[in-house]
Amino acid sequence: MIHFDKVSKRYPTAQEALSGLSLHMDAGEMAFLTGHSGAGKSTLLKLIMLMERPTQGQLLINGKNLGRLHRSQIPYYRRRVGVVFQNHQLLFDRNVFDNVALPLQVSGYQPREVGRRVRAALDKVGLLNKEKHNPIALSGGEQQRVGIARAVVHKPRILLADEPTGNLDPELSAEIMTLFRQFGELGVTVLVATHDVDLITRMNRRQLHLQQGKLVSDEAIADVSR
Ligand SMILES: Nc1ncnc2c1ncn2[C@@H]1O[C@H](COP(=O)(O)OP(=O)(O)OP(=O)(O)O)[C@@H](O)[C@H]1O
């Protein structure tokens, strides 16, 4: 599903953020992306989101070379990639339903379809009863779940998360990770950048470790939970 072939990324002002990186993830696989600050984690995620382009190498998603994607196909491609951020990026002048509905409205979905999909997404994250609440009135863990519902409302094939549990206590972090794992079980490929070593140990999933833009270890941990 995700295939990096000797990918390098150099920003105009900086040294290489990623160097000759190759990796493969299957559909439905869940992995953690680790490494010190500046190791290149966010850059790797941005390449998958098509927010940045490689300076060298190729990135194939579902067998398609992203470098050859026509400009007109980019919005459709992006809908298939859900993204969760640490700070939720929710709009506090709208209720939970409207926050989750936003990506669908931007894409021009009919109101009835919007309602159906938003409720399905809120159901998956256990927040169906909070659709009328303002996100400011929710706990940090609930706000993050609203962010996840918004990320999956387009039914993405890939779910990316950049430090999604950075502000949460261990119990809530584990809840969020369980949700990600459930999306993996539905066939979504899940890649989570995190510094949370305890969580990675508990989740027992593949760990991709970056150091100065290079993939220095790729530990495929036996999945004992399935
Ligand atoms: N837009 C940019 N322009 C120039 N340099 C950048 C840009 N984004 C990242 N970099 C540089 O690329 C390198 C990798 O950064 P990146 O944000 O991918 O690391 P990271 O592992 O995600 O770090 P963190 O854990 O702090 O988020 C760093 O040296 C950073 O300064």
pLDDT digits (tens, 9 = 90+) for 131-157: 999 999 999 899 999 999 999 999 999
30-59 per-position pLDDT tens digit: 999 999 999 999 999 999 999 999 999 999
**What is the enclosing helix (H) or strand (E) of 181?**
helix 170-185
Measured in degrees and rounded to the nearest 5, phi and psi for residue 18 equal: -135, 140
Taking the C-alpha atoms of 30, 89, 109 and 77 in order, what is their torsion angle to the nearest 10 degrees? -50
DSSP 84: E
Which two structure tokens, joined as six digits, stand for 147? 């962010």
Ligand 1 centroid to 15 CA: how many Å?
10
**pTM of the full structure:** 0.92
Question: What's the complex ipTM?
Answer: 0.93
Ordered by where they begin, the domains of the chain are: 23-219 (3.40.50.300)
Q: Residue 208's closest CA among 1, 78, 40, 37?
A: 40
Pocket of ligand 1 (CB under 6 A): 11, 13-14, 17, 35, 37-43
Which two structure tokens, joined as six digits, stand for 110? 């009919």
| Closest ligand 1 atom to Cα of 42 | 22
The closest residue, in CA terms, to atom 4 on ligand 1 is: 11
Q: What is the pLDDT of residue 19?
A: 97
Cross-strand pairs, 5: 58
Q: What is the pLDDT of residue 138?
A: 94
Rounded average pLDDT over 14-40:
95
Q: Are the CB atoms for 53 and 226 separated by under 8 Å?
A: no
